[in-house]
C-alpha cells in the first residue's frame, strides 16, 4: 500500500519534473559530482568533527576547554608519568579497568564465539535460524534493557555469590554482548568453506578436533579477525550496559558520565582517547597491509598457474 503510493509519487515527480529539466550530459555530471561531494563532506564532518575536537584538546596547552593555548604533550606525559603535575590517579585506575575488561572480554568472546559459530553452522537450517534469532537479541536489544536484565539476574544471584558486583559482573556482561558479534562475523565465512575439506582431513587420519583446528579455523581466519575487532570496538566504547552492571567498579565511560555537571574533565582523558584510536588504527593498517600483500602474492601465483595452464592447451 505505502509502497504503491510512494511509487506513484516518485513516478509523478520523475515524469513531471525531472524529465522536463533538460540538461546536457556534462551539466548532469557536474551536478551529480557536486551533490556527491557535498554528501560525503557532510557525513565526514558529522563523523569526524568530535574526534578532531578530542585530538585538538589532547594537544591544547590551556586547561580550560574554551580557548586554544598552544601545543603541548603534557597530557600525554601525565598518562604515563606518576610525577607529572597533571597526573590523575583515579583516571589511570579507570583506564586500567577499561583495558583489562576489554582485553579479557575480547579474547574470551572471540574464542567462544568462533566455536559457537561452528556449532550453529552445523545445525539444521530451521534450528540454525532460531539460534541466530536468539543470538541477535543482544545486538538488537536496547542497551538499557540488556543492562537492566543483567543487573537483575546478578542481583538475584547476590545471595549465593555475595560481592560479585564489580569486575566480575562487568566482565560477564561484556562477554555476553560481544559474543553475538563474533558469531555473526564468523558464520558467513563458515558457509563459504567446502565441507569436503573437513571430511578429507578426517579420512586422512585427523581427529575431528585436529581437523577443526588445522582445516576449519585457518579458512575462517578473516571472519574471526573481524569478529574480534567488532568485539573490541563494542566493548571498549560501552557505556549503558557497563553502567548498570558495574557496582562501584568503573570504566572510562562511567567515569566520564559521573563527571557531568560536577567538574571539568582533565584533558588527560582526551590524550588517552586519542592514543586508543591511533593504536587501533595502526594495528588495523598493519593487518590490512599484510593481508593485502599476501593476496597480491596469491593473485600473482594464480595468474601464473592460469597462464601455465593455457600454455598446456
Partner 1 sequence: MKKFSKLALPYIIWMGILVVIPLAIMLVLSFMKTDGVSFQGGKFTFDNFSRLVDHAVLVGLSNSLQFSVITTIACFLLGYPIAYIIAKAQIKNRFLVMAVLIVPMWSNMLLRTTALSNIFQPNNVITSLLGIQGISIKGTKLAIIIGMISTYLPFMILPIYTVLEKIDPSILEASNDLGANNFRTFWKVVFPISLKGVASGVILVLLPSATGFAIPKMLGEGKYVLIGMTIENSFNNMNYNFGSLLSLIIIVIIMGALLIISKVDKEGETLL
Instruction: Please list every residue from 275 through 294 that binds partner 1, using CB under 8 A.
Output: 276-277, 280-281, 284, 288, 291-292
- Closest approach of Cβ 238 to partner 1, in Å? 8
- Closest approach of Cβ 39 to partner 1, in Å? 5
Q: Tell me how crowded residue 303 is: count the other CB atoms within 10 A of its CB.
A: 10
Task: Note whether 95 binds partner 1 by CB under 8 A.
Answer: no
- Closest approach of Cβ 308 to partner 1, in Å? 25
Applying CB under 8 A, which of residues 176, 206, 217, 247 lies at the interface with partner 1? Answer: 176
Q: Which neighbouring-strand residues pair with 71? A: 60
Residue 70, phi-psi category: left (phi > 0), alpha (psi -120 to 50), beta (remainder):
left
Return the residues of window 1-20 that contact partner 1 according to CB under 8 A: 7, 10, 14, 18
Of 87 and 112, CB closest to partner 1: 112
**Interacting stretch for partner 1, rule CB under 8 A, among 79-87, 100-108, 263-271, 298-306?**
263-271
- Closest approach of Cβ 203 to partner 1, in Å? 14
Applying CB under 8 A, which of residues 5, 22, 50, 297 lies at the interface with partner 1? Answer: 50
| Cα–Cα distance measured from residue 219 to residue 201, given in angstroms and rounded to the nearest whole number | 13
Nearest alpha-carbon partner for 71 in 81, 53, 83, 57? 57
Applying CB under 8 A, which of residues 184, 228, 231, 268 lies at the interface with partner 1? Answer: 184
Could you tell me if 174 and 212 are in contact, meaning their C-beta atoms sit under 8 angstroms apart?
A: no
Q: Tell me how crowded residue 18 is: count the other CB atoms within 10 A of its CB.
A: 10
Per-position DSSP letters for 27-80, written without gaps between them: HHHHHHHHHHHHHHHHHHHHHHHHHHHHHHHHTBS-SSTTS---B--HHHHHHH
Return the residues of window 142-171 that contact partner 1 according to CB under 8 A: 142-145, 148-153, 155-156
Amino acid at each position: 500500500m505505502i509502497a504503491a503510493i510512494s511509487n506513484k509519487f516518485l513516478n509523478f515527480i520523475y515524469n513531471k519534473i525531472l524529465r522536463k529539466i533538460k540538461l546536457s550530459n556534462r551539466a548532469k555530471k557536474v551536478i551529480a559530482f557536486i551533490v556527491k561531494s557535498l554528501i560525503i563532506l557532510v557525513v565526514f564532518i558529522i563523523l569526524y568533527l568530535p574526534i578532531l575536537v578530542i585530538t585538538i584538546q589532547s594537544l591544547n596547552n590551556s586547561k580550560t576547554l574554551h580557548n586554544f593555548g598552544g601545543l603541548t604533550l603534557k597530557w600525554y606525559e601525565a598518562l604515563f608519568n606518576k610525577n607529572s603535575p597533571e597526573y590523575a590517579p583515579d583516571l589511570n585506575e579507570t583506564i586500567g579497568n577499561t583495558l583489562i575488561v576489554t582485553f579479557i572480554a575480547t579474547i574470551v568472546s572471540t574464542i567462544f564465539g568462533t566455536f559457537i559459530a561452528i556449532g550453529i553452522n552445523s545445525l539444521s537450517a530451521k534450528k540454525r535460524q532460531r539460534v541466530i534469532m536468539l543470538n541477535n537479541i543482544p545486538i538488537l536489544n536496547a542497551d538499557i534493557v540488556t543492562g537492566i536484565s543483567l543487573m537483575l539476574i546478578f542481583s538475584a544471584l547476590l545471595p549465593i555469590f555475595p560481592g560479585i558486583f564489580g569486575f566480575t559482573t562487568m566482565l560477564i556482561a561484556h562477554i555476553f554482548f560481544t559474543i553475538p558479534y563474533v558469531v555473526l562475523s564468523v558464520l558467513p565465512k563458515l558457509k563459504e568453506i567446502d565441507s569436503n575439506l573437513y571430511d578429507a582431513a578426517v579420512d586422512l587420519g585427523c581427529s575431528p578436533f585436529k581437523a577443526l583446528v588445522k582445516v576449519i579455523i585457518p579458512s575462517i581466519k578473516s571472519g574471526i579477525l573481524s569478529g574480534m575487532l567488532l568485539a573490541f570496538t563494542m566493548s571498549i566504547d560501552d557505556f549503558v550496559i557497563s553502567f548498570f552492571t558495574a557496582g562501584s567498579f568503573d570504566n572510562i565511560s562511567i567515569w566520564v558520565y559521573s563527571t557531568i555537571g560536577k567538574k571539568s574533565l582533565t584533558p588527560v582523558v582526551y590524550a588517552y582517547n586519542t592514543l586508543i584510536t591511533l593504536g587501533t588504527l595502526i594495528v588495523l593498517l598493519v593487518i590490512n597491509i599484510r593481508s593485502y600483500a599476501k593476496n597480491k602474492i596469491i593473485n600473482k601465483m594464480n595468474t601464473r598457474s592460469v597462464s601455465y595452464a593455457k600454455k598446456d592447451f
